[in-house]
Structures are given as C-alpha cells and as structure tokens.
Amino acid sequence: MPRKLAAGNWKMNGLRANLVELAKLEEKHGDADVDILICPPTTLISACEDTPFDIGGQDCYAADSGAHTGDVSAEMLADAGASYVITGHSERRTDHGETSADVAAKSRAAYDAGLIAVICIGETLEEREGGTTLAVIDAQLKGSVPDSADAENTVIAYEPVWAIGTGKVPTLTQIGEVHAHIRKRLTDRFSDGTEMRILYGGSVKGSNASDIFSVADVDGALVGGASLKADDFSPIITALENS
C-alpha cells in the first residue's frame, strides 16, 4: 500500500513567528508513522530546514529562469530546501486562470528539479450538481498529469472546489466514488498506478478525518486552514496514523 501522507497547505499565511507551530507539531509527531508535509509561503521554506517534516512550495513557474518577475522556479524551491510542490490548486486555476496544460508544464518542471508534484484536481459545485464530476476529473487528470508521472514523483490531490474552506464535505460515498475513479484511471495509464498516493482535500478536520480516512483509496489529506495550528493539524495526523 502507498505510504500515507498528511499535507498542510498554509496558503498566504505565516510569518517566522508562526514556525513555533512546527515545533509544537514535532513534539507530537516527530516520529510519525506517516509522511508529513508542510507547504508554507515561499518566504519561510528555508527557515524550515531544521524540521523533521517534508517541506514543499505552493506553486512554481514552468520555466527554469528568466524575465518572470515575482515568479519562483521549481529549481529555486529545491534550492531553498523544498522536496515537494503543489501544482494546479483550484485557487491557482480560478484566481490565476491556470489551465491543465499549465499545470502539466509546472509538474514537469517539478520533476526536472527533483521535486514531488502534488497535482490538484476537483470539480466546482455547478459541475457536481450538473452530474459532470467524473468527466471533469477525467479531463483534469488527462491534461494535468504528465506522461512522465510515477508513484515516486507524483501525488494526486482530489479537492472538490465547493468544499475548500467552506465547511462543506462530500459524503463518504461521493469521496469513495471519485477516489475509486481516479485510481482506475491511474492504473489504466501508469504501470505503478496502484502505488500512486491519492489525497482528499476540502474542509478536513479532526472531527471528520477518521471517517474520511476509512474510505478506500484515500491515502491521506491535503489540509488548508486546519494545518496552520498544531493543535488542529495533530488530530488529523493521528487519525491518519490510526487508519
């Protein structure tokens, strides 16, 4: 079975003073039986070098270098100490107009830099209510995941857009249906598709984590707001260890 992964996406939150939360998390989970990934803002990546946890970027540019003011390359993230990078988060797709082709290019750049890409996919509420969820997932998987993806360099994160930061969570049946569908597509396309990790993301918290992790093909979670505080993230990690 794939090794389980608890990933925290701090988004545009966090100053050096907030790194005390990592110290608190280390006290509880420094020797966890699952992988723990923290994706702080880029400004804090190098400051996290002493943590026992994996550190990732929240985005990268597809080019190695050049006249791209304000952008950060995958190579720069690796140089700062990152080992992962999130690509294709719905907030990037929505706020910055990123296409699946953009996501694939960024993921390939991540591979070239030796980073693991956490490739995000997920449907909007309109798509869910319109009954096109699986078609959307198919299109995003096909367009966002490079042919060079494998279980070592890629993690897939299913995040229904309508559940991110809203407190709304799909039913366990809905989560199971999508994760099973993703698994089938991965195993059809990649020789090691059964070993690729598939995370669930979208209003995951300590009170619902155990139920979510009981669903087949849920290999962990990509957590937003609840990862900012050790006291909130810790129960999620514990639930994953016990799943």
Q: Is 159 tagged catalytic?
A: yes
Distance CA(176)–CA(158), nearest Å, equals: 11
CA separation, residue 15 to residues 43, 91, 179 (Å):
8, 21, 35
- Write the DSSP symbol of residue 4: P
Neighbours of 52 (CB within 10 A): 12
Neighbours of 104 (CB within 10 A): 23
Work out the angle between the directed axes of helices 206-213 and 172-189 (0-180°, nearest 10).
50
| Strand pairing category for 84-87 and 220-223 | unpaired
Instruction: Report yes or no: 137 and 161 within 8 Å, Cβ to Cβ.
Output: no
Catalytic entry in 29, 89, 127, 179: 89
Distance of CA 48 to the CA centre of its chain: 18
Q: Is 123 tagged catalytic?
A: no
Catalytic entry in 98, 123, 159, 179: 159
Residues 198, 200, 205: CA angle, nearest 5 degrees: 145
* Closest alpha carbon to 162 in 215, 201, 209: 201
Q: What is the set of active-site residues?
A: 89, 159
